[in-house]
Chains A and B, each alone.
Chain A
Amino acid sequence: MRATTPQQDFIRGIWNENPVLIQLLGLCPALAVTNTIYNSLAMSAATLFVLVGSSLFISTLKKVIPHEVRISTYILIIATFVTIVDMVFKALEPGLYREIGAFIPLIVVNCMILGRQEAFASKRPVGRALLDALGVAAGFTIAMVMMGTVREVVGSGTILQGIPFVVGGDGINLFGSNYEPWVVMISPPGGFFALGFILLFLGWWETRKAQKREIRHWPHSVRVPTDGKEAA
């Protein structure tokens, strides 16, 4: 068990172990509800509440929960938080709930959340678990907003659509009225396209970074290694 500092606990989930972009966890919401930035943010907020709440609970109760029934108990705790989120969204934001409501109960089976409980919160002090949950949730939010931005801009030609205090909920029209939206991008297959291109870009970027590092280390070398892993 490698020792980590509290800062690392928080930072790790945001980038190096980003749940969606690196670990490819929690893809169901990432593909399903990221057709606008607003929906992405709402789903991220719901996930943050569930993740932080269940991490706090499970970390606090880790000594009480017998090892044999830990997964059942975790699921019970997670499901409770998810149901609360579901009811709150339904009561407070009915319009939003009509769009993403079907996917809120599915947060229960988001393996990202159960994974953090089993791997981290059930073994660490409460403060660490809280930091880790916040970091992972922040990483999830970043990935969701990236997906949402790509899909909304290309698929609807707007940005920030649906947020009541931005241009009355219609969003900012980016390309003028002659733009024909790529409708496929706001339908579920568009989620796969967006995720695929984002992962492609990140992979290319990482490789390029590694190559630059290699060149710096061997300034006289003419040949540039093509494999990023060798360079690292």
Chain B
Amino acid sequence: MSDEIRKDGVTPDEEGAVEAGAQDGSPVEQELPDREDVLPKDHETYTPQGGGSGTGSGPIKEVAAAEGSPVLVPKADSDAVTLPQVGPEVATAEALGLTVEDGAAGTDGPPDGVPERPEVSSFRLLMTLGVAGVVAGALLVFVFLWSDPLVKAEEARVIREAVTEVLKGPERFESVYVLDGELTTQVPAGVDTLDLDKVYLGYDESGNSMGFAMVHARFGFQDLITVIFGYDPEARQVLGMKVLDHSETPGLGNKIEEMPFVGEFDGVDTPLEGVKPDRNTGASNQVDMITGVTISSRAVVRTINERIEQLGDLLVAYEIQPATVSGGPASESGGGEDR
């Protein structure tokens, strides 16, 4: 309702027009611009009092005069529909309040539950969220600074244990990076080692190579199965296998990380061939699959074959070089710490 309409005032003729309109059945008096008045007036709607709310009824009369009373009826209706929205916070509080007794609104009528709230400036809203965000961020930075080294150390420990296991106890091992189709321990400055594919080269006590440990992943039954395995490029043999990560079915798919199956991979010729236990002909490249866990166990076999196919030639080429490159930039640490 604009002010220019309202300031026109009320004339007796218009007053009569409104009453006529109201008696048609349209709840004209409900269209009160002032929210405080609306709900109390709600029950008195159908007995309109002429002088009681003169300022409120003024605008309607203008509309009625301009557009005619047939138009007035839907307009008044549409305004009447909006009336219950006087207390939107009430509905929200009840919806979110979960237990009615805790909610701001009791069961005794909407207006009581809505406390008077002063207008809050947008600046204050932004400041609140901004300050909260900054404080939260600062707090998290401190926690991260504390936890990150521990997490990195744990990752390195997991890799170290896994490499030790699949290479059958190397004296030490170092990371060898795949850079431009070659294996190297020397990474030029400016290249982040975390971005590079890498394998782990294990040495025995006298400094001879014991083989490479490689990590690879492939989809199993539910999600990626991440496998680390030891590989001797000269003999073309898999030395051992360990499942690093999987999400297979407990009690079924997770047998791929347990002993009878894991033991199948000790000293097997490549390329591996997964066979059912009763079809094992005794060939040196055959691995017994687990009955009922075909998809998961086949995924493990294929992961290893795929990885050897990718890197097998590179590994042989690298092996030719004497193991003089001891103590590369990332020896002993495994992953993570050489950031």
Contact = CB atoms under 8 A, between A and B. Distances in A.
Interface of A: 1-2, 4, 17, 23, 25, 35, 64-69, 72-73, 76-77, 79-80, 83-84, 87-88, 90-92, 94, 98, 114-115, 118-120, 123, 181, 183, 186-187
Given A1-B106, A67-B117, A84-B139, A115 B151 contact: no
Interface residues of B, number: 36
Given A119-B99, A183-B251, A69 B136 contact: no
A123 B129 contact: no
B249 interface: yes
Contact of A118 (B96, B117, B136): B96
A183 B252 CA distance: 8
B143 A88 contact: yes
Contacts of A2: 101
A223 B313 CA distance: 86
A119 B151 contact: no
9 contacts: A66-B124, A67-B89, A72-B129, A73-B132, A76-B136, A83-B143, A88-B143, A115-B96, A123-B104
B69 to A, nearest CB: 41
A84 B143 CA distance: 7
Given A84-B143, A118-B97, A119-B103, A77 B136 contact: yes
A91 B150 contact: yes
Nearest to B154: A94
Contact of A183 (B93, B98, B249): B249
A137 B249 CA distance: 30
Contacts of A114: 96
Contacts of A83: 140, 143
**Sorted from nearest, which 6 A-B pairs have the closest CB atoms?**
A183-B251, A91-B147, A91-B150, A80-B136, A87-B147, A119-B102
A79 B129 contact: no
Nearest to A184: B251
Contacts of B98: 23, 25, 115, 118-119
B146 to A, nearest CB: 7
A119 B96 contact: yes
Contacts of B252: 183
Nearest to B155: A94
Given A68-B120, A91-B150, A119-B98, A73 B129 contact: yes
A91 B146 contact: yes
A25 B97 CA distance: 13
Given A64-B128, A67-B120, A73-B128, 9 more contacts: A1-B102, A73-B132, A76-B136, A88-B147, A115-B97, A118-B98, A119-B96, A119-B99, A123-B102
Majority secondary structure, A binding face: helix
Contacts of B136: 76-77, 79-80
Contact of A181 (B140, B150, B251): B251
A66 B125 CA distance: 7
B220 to A, nearest CB: 15
B133 interface: yes
Contacts of A35: 250
A59 B149 CA distance: 34
A64 B150 CA distance: 37
A62 B175 CA distance: 54
Contacts of A98: 245
A116 to B, nearest CB: 8
Interface string B126-145: 00110011001001100110
A152 B103 CA distance: 38
Contacts of B128: 64-66, 69, 73
Interface string B235-261: 000000000010001111000000000
A183 B293 CA distance: 14
A181 to B, nearest CB: 6
A80 B135 CA distance: 9
A80 B151 contact: no
Contact of B143 (A66, A72, A87): A87
Residue among A68, A119, A120 with the most chain B CB within 10 A? A119
Contact of B129 (A1, A76, A181): A76
Contacts of A67: 89, 117, 120
Nearest to B117: A67
A84 B103 CA distance: 30
B59 to A, nearest CB: 30
Given A1-B102, A118-B97, A119-B102, A77 B140 contact: no
Contacts of A84: 139-140, 143
B140 A80 contact: yes
A72 B98 CA distance: 18
A64 B131 CA distance: 12
Nearest to B142: A84
Contacts of A186: 250-251
Contacts of A181: 251
Nearest to A95: B154
Interface in B79-129: 89, 93, 96-99, 101-104, 106, 117, 120, 124-125, 128-129
